[in-house]
Chain A
Amino acid sequence: MYSPTYAAPTTVDEAVGLLANASGSARVLSGGTDLIIQMRSGRLRPQTIVDIKNIAGTIGIREEADGWHVGAATPGAEIGENAGLCAAWPGVTEAVQLIGSTQVQGRASFAGNLCNASPAGDSVPGLVAAGAKAVIAGKNGKRTIPVEQVPVSPGRTSLAADEFIYEFIIPKSSGKTADAYLRFIPRTEMDIAVVGCGVCVTLDNNGVCTAAKVSLGAVAPTVLVVDAAAKALIGNKLDDATLAKLDAAAQAACNPISDKRGTIEFRTKVAGVLARRTAAIAFSRAAAR
């Protein structure tokens, strides 16, 4: 009979040790809103569960010189209540608050959403567009990588067996920079994104885009960074020609599957639609700064 062991270490070193020395498969536990469900359904049966929430720094938000430090397991509800972070990064914070329901929000975290490594994770395109980095703890100490380098394929990450995400660093936003995230779901909540889109733009005083990052979710095996879409924006105002180029670039980047949640054709077209709509929100937010 399946009976996993559970540990709740209080230090990073202890956690790394548990992960490194686990016999059989091990899994990190943050909110558990993916992991526990997958264990219940029998899809995952890790032998060791390492709950990181008792480690100082894994829950909570601090503003520091190099950016916003968000503990890996900080629940969505706490992120949504942080007025400073929400004002700085409306797209990132709205995205995490789209996850599930009030109840799910009490637990669901950035780290879990990212390391579950579903291409449809709602908080991921927003983090990617905002240029967030993941701080990873392991046997050899800590390393910092861009968020988009964490997932490698559906259900798999680039983390080694002894590693876990300790926290995220989201840069400080300055000047006319703002982000937005939109997803398409058939209903209005409690759904998995059929397409998700994060856009971050910086404008000059004339409303011309000087920097941009566009990220798409659920249209490829991992969340995409769409450089061509960013290029379509940079140097331009948000006019019809720019929107059309953005739409085309977003569609061209898609490499989706047809499944129970949407067809290839549908996902591709909606990616273009969402890119336009998300960019419009990011532009108006940036212009207002």
Chain B
Amino acid sequence: MNDISLKDALKVVGTRPVRPDGVDKVVGRAQFGGDATMPGMIFGATVRSPHAHARIKKINTAKAEALKGVKAVITAADMPEIVSEEAFVGEGPMNFRDLSNNLMARDKVLYDGHVVAAVAASSMSIAKAAAELVEVEYEVLPHVIDEIEAMADGAPVLHDDVFTAGVDPKPTKPSNVAKRVEFAKGDLAAGFAAADKIIERTYKTAPVHQAYIEPHACIAAYNADGQCTVICSSQGQFMVRAYCAKLLGIDISDIRVVPAEIGGGFGGKTLVYLEPLALALSRKAGRPVRMVMDRVDVFRGTGPTSGGTVKVKLGAKKDGTITAADAEIILQAGAYPGSPMGPAAMCCWAMYDIPNARAVGVDVVSNRPKVAAYRAPGAPISTFGTESAVDEMARELGLDPIEMRLKNAAKNGTKALYGPTFQNIGYVETLEAAKAHPNLQAKLGPNQGRGVATGFWFNIGGESSASLAVNEDGTLVLVSGSPDIGGSRASMAMMAAEILGIEVEHIRPIVGDTASVGFTFLTGGSRVTFATGMAVCEATNEVVKQLRGRAAKIWEIDVEAVEWRDGSAYPAGDNAGKFEPLSLADIAAKAARTGGPITAKGAVNAQGAGPGFGTHVVDVEVDPETGHVKVLRYTAVQDVGRAIHPSYVEGQIQGGTVQGIGWALNEEYIYTKDGRLDNASFLDYRVPVASDLPAIDAVLVEVPNPRHPFGAKGVGEVPIVPPMAAVANAICAATGVRMTSLPMSPPKLKAAIDAAGK
């Protein structure tokens, strides 16, 4: 194994080969969730609630069933009733009963777009026509969307069995507040008493969607013998299998889930919406059923992340030393409990070494789709508040924002508010690299301003499997259980190639289905290069061991006397004997005679993922007459441990940053008075377009993680954490106006500028 400190010795890791899945994607041949077909396939469609909150009085499916071509109609009555049970299948908290009710409403609909029935028919147009023939009688109930309104006395209560957890004494009345968590250290009161300056502000963020380009799509077959096959795009084929089994009462061994290519997930494909419905329809119709959402369904029915309120109080000495920090983060969970308020609270002060600190998270249900994970779930929301406050403090104290952060930075040995003591972290390195970047020397003109913000994300490890097989010609097939949403197939092949000492093109990396590779936790938490990478390295090391054994057999010497380097077996020194080296191809050709196929598996429960930090600096220009913000320059510095494939690491940083800029400037859910989503399309849900943005300058800082064979840390989530505060801080620098509410869209910014008389 390579010594991770010896970066110069690496031949493959750190280079930028063409991705193995690239050509298919560029020429349009890649098979995404909606592309698969099966013989006899029919088409599914859903019936969705037009009400934000209503009791279902009656569902009449007779007319739909009578339409020619309709093969099955299902409602909640066709799905098993699931008891309340915590699920640890996806990313973030989920309850099996809630998920079942979220897929198909049982007694009440809890948001506009909540599915109440599904149909399958011989064509998509018949299915759509049938969906319109399903008659649902509703008793419309008062609804609530905003988290603060949902907490108020007299707010419509969504669930009569939700009693705030985590408070003492336990409440006797149900409410929309599902849970409260708290992390605290030191003595807050003393800390604030010691401060020369205190800043207290309330910030607000709008709910936003992950906005993956590929809508949810699947095809599912429930065969007569009870064997099920699902082909779908998701962030975890094993996650889909587990949820389908549980929600439909099927044994796990009876379901095979085949991962399709995935057109973006960002956390939004870490749970199921269509797959159990398609299976239930298939069971009833006796035919494979394909279901594909349109964009309106995606916006109305699938997981956005929370909107939230963040109350921050920050105290510091004149020299910038932070003496106390307090944050309360109130997040919308959507229709069922389970917002990312825990990670939001844990991350918001993690960049700092603060003696007296607290972070409180509050989970509030309201009449919106149940939230799903979205890139660093929760952290961008809380960090918008805390990093805006730190900026304001630096401004008030007349300090440079990077120096203010350096003064209080978390370092190796700092005990984080949420518990662990940091090791091998690179926060300070990102601040120093940002300070030294040429972009910070750029002169700013009128109406232009520069903003700095930083961010943190844990990154996770967990269970992963991989297998590696040597082919007859010495090439290899590498199978892992991790859906590739960010170029991970390339990284997996590169790590294997590095260990084998061969060219990466000789390894074909694929993502296995649930029947062809061992259990692998879903692609999320920035875990794949770290955890699945460890499984791949384990399998590869085992293959190298076997290759050495085969060479030893051929040479009739001891395996310890065989050395593996540059893709070949060599005798280890003169005492081993004089033999011509045997290449991988040589050994593969003789495999049958030396013991049969050469294959190995790697299976890990990876621990010790290195936490990630990033420092972002953005320059903006504000048009004071219209409130339009133009991003001029963007520098995103991040500690990535070690970049296995630097282009894809940069891609993660650029992508996360761009999503953060969208969150900052224009993205939001807009509701009508009766709680209907008013902007369920990419026309009015405004993600940034290419012409809105400069090239994002991604700067990689490498402080290796010793727990990973090559030093990798997760990289995919950190970059979405700082942008909202960075942009707000830059707008403040440009205009003198402090924006505390997202999005900072032109009408809002213009109104704020005019109100300030600037």
A residues bordering B, Cβ < 8 Å? 1-2, 41, 184, 186-192, 194, 260-263, 265-266, 269-270, 273
Distance between A220 CB and nearest chain B CB, rounded to angstroms = 18
Determine if B126 is an interface residue (Cβ-Cβ < 8 Å). yes
A266 touches B666 (CB 8 A): no
- Residues from chain B with a CB closer than 8 A to the CB of A260 are 670, 678-679, 684
CA distance A191 to B678 in the complex (A): 16
Distance between A122 CB and nearest chain B CB, rounded to angstroms = 14
CA distance A188 to B688 in the complex (A): 9
Determine if B2 is an interface residue (Cβ-Cβ < 8 Å). no
Distance between A14 CB and nearest chain B CB, rounded to angstroms = 29
A1 touches B126 (CB 8 A): yes
Distance between B299 CB and nearest chain A CB, rounded to angstroms = 13
Scoring A189, A194, A266 by chain B CB atoms within 10 A of each residue's CB, the highest score goes to A266
B residues bordering A, Cβ < 8 Å? 67, 125-126, 129, 296, 625-628, 665-666, 670, 678-679, 683-684, 686, 688-689, 691-692, 745-747, 750-751, 754
- Residues from chain A with a CB closer than 8 A to the CB of B689 are 187-190
B684 touches A188 (CB 8 A): no
- Residue of A at shortest CB range from B123? A1
Scoring B125, B626, B688, B745 by chain A CB atoms within 10 A of each residue's CB, the highest score goes to B626
A262 touches B747 (CB 8 A): yes
A188 touches B691 (CB 8 A): yes
B125 touches A270 (CB 8 A): no
CA distance A190 to B125 in the complex (A): 29
Partner among A188, A189, A191, A269 whose Cβ is within 8 Å of the Cβ of B750 = A269
- Residues from chain A with a CB closer than 8 A to the CB of B688 are 187
Distance between B742 CB and nearest chain A CB, rounded to angstroms = 14
B750 touches A266 (CB 8 A): yes
A266 touches B751 (CB 8 A): yes
What are 21 pairs between A and B in contact, CB < 8 Å? A1-B67, A1-B125, A1-B129, A184-B626, A186-B628, A186-B665, A186-B745, A187-B689, A187-B692, A188-B692, A189-B689, A192-B683, A260-B678, A260-B679, A261-B684, A262-B746, A262-B747, A263-B747, A266-B750, A269-B750, A273-B626
CA distance A269 to B747 in the complex (A): 10
CA distance A192 to B683 in the complex (A): 8
B746 touches A266 (CB 8 A): yes
Scoring A41, A187, A191, A270 by chain B CB atoms within 10 A of each residue's CB, the highest score goes to A187
B626 touches A270 (CB 8 A): yes
- Residues from chain B with a CB closer than 8 A to the CB of A263 are 747, 751
B692 touches A2 (CB 8 A): no
Distance between A184 CB and nearest chain B CB, rounded to angstroms = 6
- Residues from chain A with a CB closer than 8 A to the CB of B683 are 190-192
- Residues from chain A with a CB closer than 8 A to the CB of B626 are 184, 270, 273
Distance between A42 CB and nearest chain B CB, rounded to angstroms = 9
Please provide the 4 A-B residue pairs with the shortest distance between their CB atoms, ordered closest to farther: A266-B747, A188-B691, A1-B129, A273-B625
- Residues from chain A with a CB closer than 8 A to the CB of B692 are 187-188
* Known interface pairs A187-B689, A269-B750; 6 further A-B residue pairs with C-beta atoms within 8 A, sorted by A's residue number: A1-B129, A186-B745, A186-B746, A191-B686, A266-B751, A269-B625
Distance between B725 CB and nearest chain A CB, rounded to angstroms = 20
Distance between A19 CB and nearest chain B CB, rounded to angstroms = 26
Distance between B46 CB and nearest chain A CB, rounded to angstroms = 14
CA distance A261 to B747 in the complex (A): 9
CA distance A265 to B691 in the complex (A): 27
Given contacts A2-B129, A265-B751, A266-B751, contact A186 B679 (CB under 8 A): no
Distance between A13 CB and nearest chain B CB, rounded to angstroms = 33
- Residues from chain B with a CB closer than 8 A to the CB of A186 are 628, 665-666, 686, 745-746
- Residues from chain A with a CB closer than 8 A to the CB of B665 are 186
B686 touches A187 (CB 8 A): yes
CA distance A215 to B683 in the complex (A): 24
- Residues from chain B with a CB closer than 8 A to the CB of A273 are 625-626
- Residues from chain B with a CB closer than 8 A to the CB of A190 are 683, 689
- Residues from chain B with a CB closer than 8 A to the CB of A265 are 747, 751
- Residues from chain A with a CB closer than 8 A to the CB of B666 are 186-187
CA distance A238 to B623 in the complex (A): 22
CA distance A207 to B627 in the complex (A): 32
CA distance A266 to B67 in the complex (A): 49
